C-alpha cells in the first residue's frame, strides 16, 4: 500500500517513441496510483502493491497535474492514461474525474491520441461516447482491453484473466458505436510457455485481433508486453524455481517480424507497439539477451515503436542470436540427455567405448535431434579438457566448436524440482550426489540419460540408456577431419 506522502505521485511513468497511423511521434505513459483493481486476480499482475484504498479525488487530481505538466513540456502526441485497475470502474475513477481528466487533455494542442484501459465489465458504449465527447474532434480516443492471448487456456487458466471471447467482440462493437479506436494488450511468453510457443501464441493472437478488428470495422492496434517477473505473483514462484525464464529480446523482435510477414507489410505503420517498461524491476526479472548486446537490442526495439520498419529488426545481429536459435529449437521435447561420461566418451582411450559414444552423436546429428545436458556436467567436460596439454587442447577445440554449432545441445541449470527429485526419490538414495542430480533432472523432465557410467548402467529401475557397440560411423564433411585431429586427446573416465 502507498504511504501518505506518495498518494499524490504517479505509480509509474515512462516516455517512448510511437507511431500514430504512419507518423513518428512521442508517447507519455502514466500509471495513476488509484484504489486498485476490483478484480485483482490476474496471475501476472502486481498492481495491488502500488494501489491504496485511501486515494481520494484530490490525490488523483494532483497526479494528473504532474501528467499535464509533463505532456506540455514534452510536446507528446500520445498519452496512455493508465490506472492500477480500470478507468471505467466508477469506484476507481468517478465519472466526474473522467470528465475532468479528458477535458484538461483536450486543451493540450500537441496531443493527438489518448489511450484508456478497462475490463469489459465496467465499460459501456455510453461511457466511451461521453469520454470521446470531452476531447477535441481531431483527437483520437483509444479503448484498451487486456485480452492478452487468443488461446482460451492461456488467457483464462494460466493468466486467470476471466475474459471470455465475447468480451473482445463486445468491446469492438462498443468501439464501433462510439467512434473509438481499439487496442489490445498481448503478453509475450506468459509462464508455462516455452520461448518458441510464446512467439507462436503472440503471433496467432495478433492475427486473430486484426481479423476481428477488420470484421467490426474498428481500427485496431496491439500493445505487446514481454512478460516480466512481478513481485509476489505465481510467475515469481516459477521464476525462483527456475521454471520460468523471461524471454529474450530476439523473441520480441521475431514476433514483430512474423506478424509483418503474415500481414505482407514491410512497415506496420503503428499497428504494433512493444511495451518495454519494466516498472523499475531488476534486469534479471525482465527480457534479456547475452548481457553484452541487451542495451543495444532493447534500444533498437524501442526505436521500432517509432519507425515500424521491419527491415531494421531483420538487420539486428549479435553472436548470441545463434544461441537463441538453439533455445527456440530446444522448445521441442528433449528425449535424450547426455552426461560428461558419454560426451567425453567420444575421446575415450578404449576404442570400443569411443566408437559407441561417437556413433551416438553422429546419429543425433543426422537426425537433427536435440539433446540435453546439465550445465554442471558440461562444466565437468570443460574442466577435464583444461587439464590436457596445450597441444592436445589445440587439436580438440576446433572439433568441439564445430560440433557445438551443428548439434542442437540444450544446456540447462538444475531447477528446483530437479533438485527435489534428486533429494527425495527412493530410487536414487544410494547414489552419489553428482549422479542423483543428473538422473533427478532427467526423471523430472522426462527422457533418458545416455551414460557410460558403469554404476548407473546396472540400475535397471532408472531412465538410463546404454550405448551400442558397433562399426565406426563418420561425422559429416569437415567435422570428421576435425574429429580425427581432436583424438590428440584421449580420456580415461567413467564419470
Ligand atoms: S484486470 Fe488488469 S489490473 Fe486487474 S488484476 Fe488483471 S491485469 Fe491487474
Ligand atoms: Zn548478445
In DSSP notation, 74-95 reads: HT-SEEEEEESS-TT-TTTS-H
3-state helix, strand, coil in the chain (%, to 5): 50, 15, 35
The lowest-confidence range among 241-245, 284-288, 358-362 is 241-245
Model pLDDT, residue 285: 86
Task: Name the pLDDT band for 281 (thresholds 50, 70, 90).
Answer: low
- What pLDDT shows up at residue 119? 98
**Which of 12, 37, 88 to probe ligand 1 with, by most ligand atoms within 8 A of CB?**
37
The verdict on the CB of residue 122 being under 6 Å from ligand 1 is no
Q: With CA atoms as reference, report the closest residue to 313 among 302, 324, 322.
A: 302
Q: What is the assigned CATH class of domain 336-486?
A: alpha beta
Class of the 4-328 domain? Answer: alpha beta
- Work out the percent of the chain whose per-residue pLDDT is above 90: 77
- pTM for this prediction: 0.76
Q: What is the largest CA-CA distance in the chain?
A: 84
pLDDT of residue 278: 63
Q: Is the pLDDT of residue 432 over 60?
A: yes
Query: Which residues sit with Cβ closer than 5 angstroms to ligand 2, an ion?
Result: 289-290, 292-293, 318, 320
> Do 4-328 and 336-486 come out as alike in CATH topology?
no
Identify the residue whose cell numbers are 560411423.
473
Fill in the DSSP letter of residue 249. H
Centre of ligand 2 from the C-alpha of residue 413, in Å: 19
Q: Is 238 in the pocket of ligand 1 (CB under 6 A)?
A: no
pLDDT at 192 over 90: no
Q: Are strands 464-465 and 140-148 parallel, antiparallel or unpaired?
A: unpaired
Q: In the chain, where are the structural domains located?
A: 4-328, 336-486
Pocket lining: 146 vs ligand 1, CB cutoff 6 Å = yes
Amino acid at each position: 500500500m502507498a504511504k501518505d506522502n506518495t498518494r499524490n505521485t504517479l505509480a509509474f511513468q515512462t516516455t517512448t517513441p510511437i507511431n500514430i497511423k504512419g507518423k513518428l511521434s512521442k508517447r507519455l505513459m502514466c500509471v495513476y496510483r488509484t484504489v486498485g483493481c476490483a478484480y485483482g486476480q490476474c496471475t501476472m499482475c502486481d498492481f495491488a502493491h502500488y494501489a491504496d484504498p485511501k486515494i481520494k479525488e484530490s490525490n488523483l487530481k494532483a497526479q494528473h497535474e504532474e501528467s499535464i505538466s509533463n505532456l506540455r513540456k514534452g510536446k507528446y502526441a500520445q498519452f496512455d492514461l493508465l490506472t492500477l485497475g480500470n478507468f471505467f470502474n466508477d469506484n476507481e475513477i468517478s465519472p466526474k474525474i473522467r470528465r475532468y481528466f479528458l477535458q484538461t487533455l483536450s486543451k493540450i494542442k500537441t496531443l493527438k491520441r489518448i489511450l484508456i484501459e478497462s475490463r469489459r465489465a465496467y465499460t459501456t458504449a455510453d461511457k466511451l461516447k461521453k469520454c470521446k465527447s470531452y476531447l477535441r474532434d481531431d483527437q483520437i480516443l483509444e479503448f484498451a482491453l487486456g485480452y492478452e492471448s487468443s488461446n482460451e487456456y492461456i488467457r483464462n487458466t494460466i493468466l486467470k484473466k476471466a475474459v471470455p471471447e465475447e468480451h473482445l467482440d463486445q468491446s469492438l462493437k462498443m468501439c464501433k458505436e462510439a467512434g473509438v479506436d481499439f487496442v489490445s494488450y498481448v503478453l509475450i511468453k506468459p509462464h508455462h510457455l516455452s520461448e518458441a510457443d510464446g512467439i507462436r501464441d503472440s503471433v496467432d493472437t495478433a492475427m486473430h485481433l486484426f481479423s476481428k478488428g477488420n470484421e467490426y470495422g474498428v481500427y485496431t492496434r496491439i500493445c505487446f508486453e514481454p512478460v516480466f517477473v512481478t513481485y509476489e505473483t505465481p510467475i515469481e514462484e516459477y521464476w525462483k524455481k527456475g521454471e520460468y525464464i523471461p524471454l529474450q529480446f530476439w523473441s520480441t523482435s521475431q514476433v514483430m517480424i512474423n506478424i509483418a510477414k503474415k500481414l505482407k507489410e514491410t512497415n506496420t505503420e503503428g499497428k504494433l507497439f512493444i511495451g518495454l517498461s519494466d516498472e523499475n524491476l531488476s534486469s534479471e526479472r525482465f527480457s534479456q539477451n547475452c548481457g553484452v548486446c541487451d542495451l543495444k537490442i532493447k534500444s533498437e526495439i524501442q526505436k521500432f515503436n517509432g519507425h515500424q520498419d521491419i527491415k531494421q529488426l531483420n538487420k539486428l545481429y549479435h553472436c548470441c542470436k545463434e544461441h537463441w536459435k538453439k533455445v527456440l529449437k530446444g522448445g521441442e521435447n528433449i528425449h535424450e540427455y547426455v552426461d560428461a561420461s558419454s560426451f567425453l566418451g567420444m575421446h575415450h582411450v578404449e576404442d570400443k567405448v569411443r566408437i559407441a559414444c561417437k556413433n551416438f552423436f553422429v546419429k543425433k546429428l543426422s537426425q537433427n535431434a536435440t539433446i540435453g545436458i546439465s550445465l554442471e556436467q558440461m562444466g565437468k567436460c570443460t574442466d577435464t579438457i583444461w587439464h590436457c596439454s596445450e597441444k592436445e587442447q589445440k587439436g580438440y577445440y576446433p572439433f568441439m566448436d564445430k560440433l557445438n554449432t551443428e548439434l542442437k545441445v540444450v544446456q540447462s541449470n538444475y531447477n528446483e524440482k530437479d533438485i527435489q527429485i534428486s533429494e527425495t526419490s527412493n530410487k536414487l538414495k544410494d547414489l552419489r550426489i553428482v549422479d542423483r542430480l543428473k538422473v533427478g533432472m532427467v526423471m523430472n523432465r522426462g527422457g533418458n540419460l545416455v551414460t557410460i557410467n558403469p554404476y548407473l548402467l546396472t540400475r535397471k529401475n532408472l531412465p538410463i540408456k546404454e550405448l551400442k557397440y558397433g562399426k565406426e560411423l563418420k561425422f559429416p564433411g569437415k567435422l570428421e577431419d576435425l574429429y580425427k585431429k581432436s583424438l590428440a586427446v584421449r580420456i580415461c573416465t567413467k564419470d
